[in-house]
Amino acid sequence: MRVFFYNWISLLLLMIPGWHSSFAQQIPLNHYGLPVVTSAALYQQQVAADSNQQLVDVPRYIPGIRTDVRYATTHNFTQQVLYPHPRVLLRLPAAKALKAVQQQLSAQGLALKIFDAYRPYAITEKMWTIVPDDRYAADPRKGSGHNRGVAVDLTLIQISSGDTIPMPTGYDDFTEKAHYSYHPTDIAVLANRALLRRIMEQHGFTALETEWWHFYLSDYQKYPLLDLGFDTFR
């Protein structure tokens, strides 16, 4: 029955619009039956077939964008260093959309600060052991938009000072105050959160209702799950 289920999942993947059939056929299934790219050679084959599959270095692609990669430090909810490098990587279409967001914000004296982008699948598994709650951590039985390279965690800053503008909570606050259903009493905070969501959605991102900082491309299914180290990417 399990083999039948896994084969059925593979068949469904082939039917997803935009999913390159050869990708689905080549990608090995993990212990949950999910296709996860674990080979740098396979990743390069996918990029050669479709340049949109490429992960790009966001700070190089968007000059001036700020980063604060908490998972490359102990200053995160796990209190562990999860990333060997504070790198920010996204698939090319996500990086292009984010560049347009940054350009639009600059006219208002604002800019983006990124906390996280591409995340290897193995890190998602580790996070789930600490916070097994799919409101705040991705269930490894499904994978994450971060694992696909099309999700990003971010906030807004003032260009002039570099200061983060007020939001309902800090990053990775796993309480209902991080939800969009929460209504802060401070009108400015409410407006800041609404601005971030509005401009991200204008450029093709979808908001996660339980984390005001998390956005992902709505066509995320076009991009396979990845479990490749940061050194894989130039």
Q: What confidence tier does 234 reach under pLDDT thresholds 50, 70, 90?
A: confident
125, 176, 201, 211: the active-site residue: 211
The tens digit of pLDDT for each residue in 180-230 reads: 999 999 999 999 999 999 999 999 999 999 999 999 999 999 999 999 999
**What's the pTM?**
0.89
Residue-wise pLDDT tens digits, 18-31: 444 455 558 999 99
Quote the domain boundaries for residue 148: 49-232
Q: What is the pLDDT of residues 40-62, one digit of tens each?
A: 999 999 999 999 999 999 999 99
E strand or H helix at 124:
helix 121-130
**CATH label of the domain that carries residue 152:** 3.30.1380.10
Question: What are the tens digits of pLDDT across the range 112-171?
Answer: 999 999 999 999 999 999 999 999 999 999 999 999 999 999 999 999 999 999 999 999
Considering the domain boundaries, does residue 32 fall inside one?
Answer: no
Question: Among this protein's residues, is 211 annotated catalytic?
Answer: yes
- The CA distance from 225 to 43, in Å, is 10
Identify whether 27 is part of a domain.
Answer: no
Residue 15 lies in a domain: no
In a domain, 36, yes or no: no
Residue 163: DSSP 8-state: P
Binding residues for Zn(2+): 146, 153, 214
- Domain membership of residue 14 (yes or no) is no
Instruction: Work out how many domains the chain is built from and give that number.
Output: 1
Buried b (16+ CB within 10 A) or exposed e, 156-167: bbeeeeeebbeb
Domain-embedded: residue 86: yes
Extract the annotated binding site. Answer: 146, 153, 214
Query: 21 lies in a domain?
Result: no
> Residue 225: inside a domain, yes or no?
yes
